Amino acid sequence: MERQTAASDIWERDLGRNSANYVPLTPLSFLRRSAAVYPGKTAVIHGRLRYSYAEFAARCRRLASALAKAGIGKGDTVAVLAPNIPPMLEAHYGIPMLGAVLNALNIRLDADTIGFCLDHGGAKVLIADREFSATTEKALAKCKVKPLLVEIDDSEADYAAIGGKRLGDLTYEQFIAGGDPDFVGDAPVDEWDAITLNYTSGTTGNPKGVVYHHRGAFLNALGDVTFFALHPRVVYLWTLPMFHCNGWCFTWAVTAIGGTHVCLRRVEAAAVFRAIEEHGVTNLCGAPIVLNLLAHAPESVKTKFDHVVDVATGGAAPPSAIIAAMERNGFRVTHAYGLTETYGPSTFCAWQEAWDELALEPRARVMARQGVTVLTFEALMVADPETMKPVPRDGQTIGELMLRGNRLMKGYLKNPEATAEAFRGGWFHSGDLAVWHPDGYAEIKDRAKDIIISGGENISSLEVEEVLYRHPKVLEAAVVARPDEKWGEHPCAFVTLREDAGAVSPDEIIEWCRANMARFKAPRTVVFGPLPKTSTGKIQKFLLRDSARNL
Amino acid sequence: MERQTAASDIWERDLGRNSANYVPLTPLSFLRRSAAVYPGKTAVIHGRLRYSYAEFAARCRRLASALAKAGIGKGDTVAVLAPNIPPMLEAHYGIPMLGAVLNALNIRLDADTIGFCLDHGGAKVLIADREFSATTEKALAKCKVKPLLVEIDDSEADYAAIGGKRLGDLTYEQFIAGGDPDFVGDAPVDEWDAITLNYTSGTTGNPKGVVYHHRGAFLNALGDVTFFALHPRVVYLWTLPMFHCNGWCFTWAVTAIGGTHVCLRRVEAAAVFRAIEEHGVTNLCGAPIVLNLLAHAPESVKTKFDHVVDVATGGAAPPSAIIAAMERNGFRVTHAYGLTETYGPSTFCAWQEAWDELALEPRARVMARQGVTVLTFEALMVADPETMKPVPRDGQTIGELMLRGNRLMKGYLKNPEATAEAFRGGWFHSGDLAVWHPDGYAEIKDRAKDIIISGGENISSLEVEEVLYRHPKVLEAAVVARPDEKWGEHPCAFVTLREDAGAVSPDEIIEWCRANMARFKAPRTVVFGPLPKTSTGKIQKFLLRDSARNL
């Protein structure tokens, strides 16, 4: 057959977009739908409070209406400083309904950084929980913007115990009471419009403002639904901060499927186990520290439940001991990986049926890998960041983990250089160094800046840490480079011992490492003590590097 | 606070789309991902054949490559006339990889209509299974286009028994053997590009060519994943024709989640039960006739299985007797509703927890409703088609069911009048007459042209049919308007009795109806015999109306 002129114009003529067959993608449609389909179903649980989907949607519309009356419109920033309580969830809908942008702030940040974020994002309203009034007061005194302050005075909080005073005279409940429960917000005109602003926790320098869009939020939420095979009977417990990548977009995903959000001001083991028992929690997410908390909880607070609770964790690979303890307690752990720039999980360690029969240790080893792209994320590659050539899939060659797809940020706010740098070569550069296994699974070996070069050999600090974590007396460990006259650098381990460890010598630790990995990779210095952490719980390796340099 | 100038430009400046953070939505990404994540997993089962995801993807790429060599490119039409066998599934990927358009033809159509479709769609290649060689030969003799004929000679088919001769000398396996298994097809440049062409079965006149796009196919497939909460261990049995709205987009959805497609040349009860037992089928879809077939299957072919098989059905509400029989046999039925124009299910009868305790009859009544929008479909309304005003949600007032969202067709090919008519007022007009219940569920009462007007009162033919179906001796029933000197029209029932019914008089049927519904709605004429049907199993009411007029 001869190549003919493509007849493709017949597929376009009179077949354009119209208001019936084209709707911008936005997670706002999830709330509209669940309020229509499940009006009487419990959408939100918080302490003694229960909001049905009809009530939850009405509260979101009231918030949007009240904000509109306060002058907020398209492109305006509304900051929220609150734990995982209903107003934070409502902010994920009420603010975008106006085309405004939600900036959910990390409650663990210091006042200076909060002030920086308020200024950089240009906050016009700050909705802040009383618990953080000290920080709020200081931040507002320092920053240049003068946002309207709306204070959350949570009926379920014991402020006498947790602290926090009232700073002004406008509470959140008063504010939204003045809003119209039937308010119709503007749908975004363009699905590329900004929906939220999330500041990276950045271990050094000022945080960067990551901008998410409606299309990405919609697709990430649907990806979350497929990740856990969520269904309308899902009961999702908020152990992951909503200020963290908008709760990995589960703020929208749970609503999408018509499930129930269970709020939680503080992540405490007893409260988590109680919620599982009382509300039949089916799913939760959290940093490794949450798993630690649950795995090591005293037996007295552990409740028995006869269903499996699905848990996603990210930030670091779950060690085998934690996996085993979680499984014994009725949890099933999935390891995911992502960054603020990817709206949360971009890859996960997708289960292979062949692993069903694996024993714990080899299972933990395959599960430790960051894995493959989640559904609706387009592609990953491990490549040389200079040549952009993929590394061989040999499980050995180190490259940078790079990502591509609709679940990536628009870019960094007011920072075109950082945006261009992050997206150079048409891929997002994660800054994480990884190997690519023959089965296509990526495994992170280190942050680019955390690799240790000793005698010309690369040593992955993560690999050394993994061995340290397997030592029965080690609770936490971090490894950084220490300058070394002979080798250039050598691995220096900072170790927190378990409470019941008793006396342990540095040599015992070093010998353990030498016995369990290539000798040249074993630390030559071991320091015992607590580890410095960021507000999101990340270990601050730059401080440890300073310490190692000055030992 | 004063209304200030929106600062929205900061959200756009230097934050545009780039090749890292924007990818056109297309179901082709699902195959790429599953081939990468689950290369060794069984993607397709057909008789003794097994294709892993790596093999399945390679076959699709071979098809694309072979078509490219044959001169096929963007916007070219490739027609396929085949049952639910692997080449049909491969066509859903291999053809769009080139930006070409798949036209899956209904295997039950006559040669004239097939010829019309080939001409109207401008088919350049026809891939046709030998079983339909008689139709193919006639259609090709009549149509103006001269497509390249590629014949499927299925190793798993018993052509001696089912008929079918070879017409040419190019088989599908030979054709794709000449293709490159590593061929890289062009991703669609624009997610609005056409992906498939599906002709409506149209009870009168020429079929209309419904054009789907990549974005819609992607979103429908994800919607399907959420519909059944599909997960990677799903085993999907192909009892719904793939030529029917591309198998309601499950052709793409099952691949998206990395599940297993089980092919089936013919839907026979024994084969379905055997597949459930042999392959652990978890999900299937089908017209009511498929449920009938399974519910009434002889005990000898029924297999026992200890998991629940999820079944979606559409086209007509499942009667309570069928629901009960299906549940007894281990199936769970969900009622969905859609049209070719909506890529399959647009609404479904979403389960409410309050229904868990309902007895069979009231449960069947709530389940009979077409319900609410599926996730990723934007909105439905029941409205007056003239004023576009929604009807009250009283379960009584009749209006037209209208739909809006990204899961709607681009329009009808080369038919701007029909497209404009279908989308008038910014909503898609289904042509189905429905009521809107207080809980937001829509329930179809009739096709617009099937309503009977007797003494000025509207009578829903569906309502009369429902009562007829409940009669223990009735197998099938259809009700149409018969001209009536006194009343204008009256309901005339055409009834097929069950084999074991024995003698039944028209009066017995009429009395049954009078006893079970408003008397004026009961039929005044009853005719016994088989019902005329279209190739997709729809009852041809226009033929019955002719008969009723001439009685």
Residue A491 bridge partners (DSSP): A481
A146 in contact with B, Cβ within 8 Å:
no
- d(Cα A312, Cα A291) in Å, to the nearest integer? 10
Mean pLDDT across the stretch A329-345? 94
Which tokens hold the place of B531? 């019902």
Question: Which is nearest to B452 in space by CA: B464, B444, B468, B443?
Answer: B464
- Structural domains for chain A: 451-549 (3.30.300.30)
Region of residue B302 (phi > 0: left; psi between -120 and 50: alpha; otherwise: beta):
beta
pLDDT band at residue A6 under the 50/70/90 scheme: very low
Interface test mutation site (partner B, options A11, A124, A226, max chain B beta carbons within 10 A): A11
Predicted confidence (pLDDT) per residue in A98-122, tens digit: 999 999 999 988 899 999 999 999 9
B438 in contact with A, Cβ within 8 Å:
no
Question: Which is nearest to A230 in space by CA: B66, B225, B78, B181?
Answer: B225
- d(Cα A291, Cα A537) in Å, to the nearest integer? 13
Residues on chain B touching A426 (C-beta within 8 angstroms):
18-20
- d(Cα A241, Cα A243) in Å, to the nearest integer? 5
Mean pLDDT across the stretch A113-136? 97
Q: A56: which residues sit within 8 A by CB, 6+ positions away? A: A31, A35, A43, A44, A86, A89, A90
- Cβ(B172)–Cβ(B151) below 8 Å: yes
CA B217 to chain centre: 14
Please report the pLDDT score of residue B361 as a whole number.
87
3-state secondary structure B40-60: CCEEEEECCEEEEHHHHHHHH
What is the ipTM, given to two decimal places? 0.88
Q: Do B20 and A403 touch (CB under 8 A)?
A: yes
In the numeric block, the tokens 């107003």 are attached to: A87
Q: Do A10 and B122 touch (CB under 8 A)?
A: yes
Neighbour count for residue B347 (Cβ, 10 Å): 26
Using only C-alpha atoms, chain A has a radius of gyration, in whole angstroms, of 24
- d(Cα A117, Cα A131) in Å, to the nearest integer? 19
- A204 secondary structure, DSSP code: S
Amino acid in the structure at residue B285: C
Which tokens hold the place of B527? 């005719």
Interface of B with A in 218-277 (CB under 8 A): 222, 225-226, 229-233, 256-258
Nearest by CB: A8 against B74, B378, B423: B74
Please report the pLDDT score of residue A171 as a whole number.
98
Of A284-293, A408-417, B388-397, the range with the lowest mean pLDDT is: A284-293
Please report the pLDDT score of residue A452 as a whole number.
87
- d(Cα A237, Cα A272) in Å, to the nearest integer? 8
Question: Which is nearest to A425 in space by CA: A449, A443, A400, A448?
Answer: A400
Please report the pLDDT score of residue B6 as a whole number.
47
B27 in contact with A, Cβ within 8 Å:
no
- Cβ(A135)–Cβ(A103) below 8 Å: no
Question: Which is nearest to B514 in space by CA: B455, B464, B439, B461?
Answer: B464
- d(Cα B78, Cα B70) in Å, to the nearest integer? 11
Q: Is the dihedral of CA B142, B148, B153, B157 positive or negative?
A: negative
Query: 3-state class of A84 per DSSP?
Result: strand
Question: Which is nearest to A463 in space by CA: A403, A391, A513, A531?
Answer: A513
Say yes or no to pLDDT of A392 above 60: yes
Kindly report the backbone phi and psi dihedral angles of residue B4, in degrees, each rounded to the nearest multiple of 5, phi listed first. -110, 165
Predicted confidence (pLDDT) per residue in A62-77, tens digit: 999 999 999 999 999 9
- d(Cα A361, Cα A340) in Å, to the nearest integer? 31
- Cβ(A260)–Cβ(A279) below 8 Å: yes
Residues on chain A touching B32 (C-beta within 8 angstroms):
379
Please report the pLDDT score of residue A525 as a whole number.
94
- B127 secondary structure, DSSP code: E
- Report the gap between the CA of A324 and the closest CA in chain B (Å): 24
CA distances from A306 to A237, A271, A330, B288 (A): 17, 18, 8, 37
pLDDT band at residue A2 under the 50/70/90 scheme: very low
pLDDT band at residue A202 under the 50/70/90 scheme: low
Query: 3-state class of A452 per DSSP?
Result: strand
Query: 3-state class of A42 per DSSP?
Result: strand
Please report the pLDDT score of residue A447 as a whole number.
74
Nearest CA in chain B to A125: B1
Per-residue pLDDT in tens (0 to 9) along chain B, 551 residues = 333 444 558 999 999 999 999 999 999 999 999 999 999 999 999 999 999 999 999 999 999 999 999 999 999 999 999 999 999 999 999 999 999 999 999 998 889 999 999 999 999 999 999 999 999 999 999 999 999 999 999 999 999 999 999 999 999 999 999 999 999 987 678 999 999 999 986 555 678 999 999 999 999 999 999 999 999 999 999 999 999 999 999 999 999 999 999 999 999 999 999 999 999 999 999 988 899 889 989 999 999 899 999 999 987 778 888 888 999 999 999 999 999 999 999 999 999 999 999 998 899 889 989 999 999 999 999 999 999 999 999 999 999 999 999 999 999 999 999 999 999 999 999 999 899 999 999 999 877 777 788 877 778 888 888 889 889 899 889 999 998 888 888 999 999 998 888 889 999 999 999 998 878 889 999 999 999 987 767 788 888 988 998 88
Residue A104 bridge partners (DSSP): A80
pLDDT band at residue A7 under the 50/70/90 scheme: low
CA distances from A321 to A330, A505, A511, A549 (A): 14, 23, 21, 32
Q: Do A404 and B1 touch (CB under 8 A)?
A: no
Which tokens hold the place of A522? 């074993």
Please report the pLDDT score of residue B203 as a whole number.
52
Higher-confidence residue of A475 and A536: namely A475
B308 in contact with A, Cβ within 8 Å:
no
Say yes or no to pLDDT of A8 above 60: no
Q: What is the average pLDDT value for chain A, to the nearest integer?
A: 92
- A449 secondary structure, DSSP code: G
Interface test mutation site (partner A, options B1, B3, B5, B21, max chain A beta carbons within 10 A): B21
Half-sphere exposure of B392 (CA within 13 A, CB side): 3
Residues on chain A touching B76 (C-beta within 8 angstroms):
4, 6-7
CA B441 to chain centre: 21
In the numeric block, the tokens 């918080």 are attached to: A46
Predicted confidence (pLDDT) per residue in A148-199, tens digit: 999 999 999 999 999 999 999 999 999 999 999 999 987 678 999 999 999 9
Q: Is the dihedral of CA A111, A113, A114, A116 positive or negative?
A: positive
Chains A, B: CB contacts within 8 A come to 227
Question: Which is nearest to B318 in space by CA: B273, B348, B358?
Answer: B348
- Report the gap between the CA of A41 and the closest CA in chain B (Å): 9
- d(Cα A338, Cα A200) in Å, to the nearest integer? 12
Please report the pLDDT score of residue B395 as a whole number.
95
